Amino acid sequence: MATSLLDKLDLNRIPEHVGIILDGNGRWAKKRFMPRVAGHREGMKRVVDIVESSSNLGIKYLSLYAFSTENWKRPTEEVSALMDLLIIYVDSQLKRLSDNNVIVKTIGDISKLPNKSRQAIEKACETTKENTGMVLNLGLNYGSRSEIIRAVENIVNNSYDVNELTEESFKDFLYTKSQPDLDLLIRPGGEKRLSNFMLYQVAYAELYFCDTLWPDFHEEELYKAIYDFQSRNRRFGGI
Query: Which residues contact Mg ion (rule: CB under 5 A)?
Result: 23
Residue with Cβ nearer ligand IPE (14 or 141): 141
Q: Which of 7, 10, 12, 23 is flagged as catalytic?
A: 23
User: Active site includes 228?
Assistant: no
25 near ligand IPE, rule: CB under 6 A? yes
67 near ligand IPE, rule: CB under 6 A? yes
108 near ligand IPE, rule: CB under 6 A? no
44, 50, 51, 66: which one binds ligand IPE (CB under 6 A): 66
DSSP string of the chain, one letter each residue:
----GGGGS-GGG--SEEEEE---HHHHHHHTT--HHHHHHHHHHHHHHHHHHHHHHT-SEEEEEEEETTGGGS-HHHHHHHHHHHHHHHHHHHHHHHHTTPEEEEES-GGGS-HHHHHHHHHHHHHHTT--S-EEEEEEEE-HHHHHHHHHHHHHHTT--GGG--TTGGGGGSTTTTSPPPSEEEE-SS--S-TTS-TTTTTTPEEEE--S-GGG--HHHHHHHHHHHHT----TT--
Residue with Cβ nearer ligand IPE (5 or 48): 48
- What does the longest C-alpha to C-alpha distance in the chain come to? 61
What is the distance in angstroms between the CA of the first residue and the CA of the last residue of the chain?
42
Smallest distance from ligand IPE to CB 160, Å: 30
User: Active site includes 71?
Assistant: yes
98's contact among ligand IPE, Mg ion, none, with CB below 5 to 8 A by partner kind, is: none
68 near ligand IPE, rule: CB under 6 A? yes
Q: Which of 7, 10, 49, 71 is flagged as catalytic?
A: 71
Smallest distance from ligand IPE to CB 209, Å: 12
Give which of 222, 238, 168, 232 is closest to 53, Cα–Cα. Answer: 222
Site string for ligand IPE, 158-197 (x = CB under 6 A): -------------------------------x-x-x-x--
22 near ligand IPE, rule: CB under 6 A? yes
27 near ligand IPE, rule: CB under 6 A? yes
Residue with Cβ nearer ligand IPE (26 or 155): 26
**CB 41, CB 87: distance < 8 Å:** no
Residues tagged active-site: 23, 71
What residue ranges bind ligand IPE (CB under 6 A)?
Answer: 21-27, 40, 43, 65-68, 71, 82, 189, 191, 193, 195
